[in-house]
Amino acid sequence: MTPRKKRRLMILAVAALALFSATALVLTAFEDNIVFFYSPTDLTKKTIAPDRRLRVGGLVEEGSVKRTPDNKAVQFRVTDLDHTVPVVYGGLLPDLFREGQGVVAEGKFINGVFQASEVLAKHDEKYMPREVADALKKSGQWAGEGGKTSAKPAGGQAAPEAKK
């Protein structure tokens, strides 16, 4: 390698190192703005301004889904298996919405209840035919979303230990 080529390679390497360090610092600094939603545990650690819009994500707690007394909305609790957040939502729920399913709700807190204006379904990274899923559930090896044996929520996303 000629000295000029070696010098150009060195410049490239140093520039790359600087660029990667700068990006890592920026991403760490803006982490709070990059996350798409907060888990219920995140919310216990934060002070939220009363009118602030935000997103809450986690699993729909088993047995928590019911109609509100006036029958105009659905209420349920979002859990990360450590903490829960009560949610009320009056719109159309996505097809994948069910108890034990991952969801992300957008809205704001009113008197400690999360008033959602949009609810999105979040599914995990597992893909399998129905027969395989049934067989796993039967043999008790089911560890997926909605499973009673589930140690942590969808893909570890909402779990506090998965946070960097």
CA distance 113 to 116: 9
Of 25 and 69, CB closest to another protein: 25
CA distance 160 to 41: 7
Q: Which residues pair with 66 in a beta bridge?
A: 75
Of 12 and 113, CB closest to another protein: 12
Q: How far is the CB of 155 from another protein (least distance, A)?
A: 5
Q: How far is the CB of 72 from another protein (least distance, A)?
A: 20
Of 75 and 157, CB closest to another protein: 157
- List, in order, residues 6 or more apart from 86 with CB less than 8 Å away: 75, 76, 77, 112, 113, 114
CA distance 35 to 55: 10
Q: Which residues bind another protein (CB under 8 A)?
A: 5, 8-9, 12, 15-16, 19-20, 23, 27, 31, 34-39, 57, 93-96, 104, 118-134, 145, 154-158, 162-164
Of 7 and 67, CB closest to another protein: 7
CA distance 113 to 108: 8
Q: How far is the CB of 77 from another protein (least distance, A)?
A: 18
Q: How far is the CB of 55 from another protein (least distance, A)?
A: 9
